[in-house]
Amino acid sequence: MFYQKVLVTGGAGFIGSNFIRHFLNQNKGPSKVLNLDLLTYAGNPENLKEFSSDNRYQFIHGDIADQTLVAKLLKEHQIQAILNFAAESHVDRSIDSAEPFFQTNVIGTLRLLETARTYWKSLPPKEASEFRFLHVSTDEVYGSLSSEDPAFQETTPFAPNSPYAASKAASDHLVRSFHHTHGLPTLTTNCSNNYGPYQFPEKLIPLVILNALDEKNLPIYGDGKNIRDWLFVEDHCVAITSVLQEGKVGETYNVGGKAETTNLQIVDTLCALLDELQPRQNGKSYLDLKTFVKDRPGHDRRYSINFEKIHHQLKWTPQENLATGLRKTVQWYLSHREWCTQITETKYSRDRLGGNH
């Protein structure tokens, strides 16, 4: 089914804004996207400024926990699907202070589910059967792998190791419970590390790019050999669209990039790309800026995603490999320095290390 009227929560963030852009660019016909975002530190309406005069798009500054507001939006706009991207998502911040993560990721998701259930129950039978609640989550709920362990599958037991991951695991359980207890037509996706345009500059890849351009140190936790599976954000948006349109109600789908690599290799690749595309004035390589720092507490060693289920059932596979995706990402940041400057000057100090690495 083609969903024309959707509510996207957390749509001013990195993945949410990329999804909205993908949705509107792919659907030129009549449609309506409501973007509900509280605009905490990582939310930025500028991510979608090209749609500010597009009558298919509407931004609402608000909280997913505000049940009165959400109920009003669902009813007034006859929403057909909710896509829940809203989350506090930075591991380091969750280590510093866990409570905001549980307020948003657990209590916020619970209230959103309750509001969605009430609205869904009020719909006529046909509309109710077509309604969807799609919850976007993370591979971090599964815990950490050794180098010999098989990749995470949808049946892998949850073993979250950070307060952030624990809060996302709790929200995933809530979504599952609302389907099995109340029949709410839910879908869940668990993705690997995303990267690409509009990512908040405290995550590893944009942090390295922008620190390098500013001649600042490139901090690498521990020995730099922690492994992540990297997923280009546009590929993730295509996967979410496929799950929304064709996914089986009540199911979970893992979404991976087929691009496992160490953090050290990521930094080295970014330095090589910057050496090529934006050489330093002193003639040296950006590699000289690498510095190893004390490891994060409880730092997961390896993540790996098995995405055979979404590949076989929905015919999805990532289109970008790590080489092409990183090149596109570096080129985007080089050509959007004004966006980067606005973020770094108004949102936060870039002394914090890159998250999820």
- Per-residue CA distances from 276 to 320, 326, 327 (Å): 20, 13, 10
Who's near 194: CB < 8 A, 6+ residues apart?
14, 15, 230, 231, 232, 233, 236
Q: To the nearest 10°, the Cα dihedral for 293, 334, 231, 272?
A: -60
d(CA 357, CA 339): 23
Token representation of residue 145: 């792998």
Who's near 336: CB < 8 A, 6+ residues apart?
197
d(CA 217, CA 236): 30
d(CA 20, CA 347): 22
Looking up tokens 């949808």 gives: 154
Annotated catalytic sites, by residue? 139-140, 164
d(CA 275, CA 63): 43
Number of alpha carbons in the 13 Å side-chain half-sphere of residue 52: 7
- Burial grade of 46 (CB within 10 A; 0-12, 13-18, 19 or more): middle
Closest CA to 138 of 99, 203, 90, 185: 90
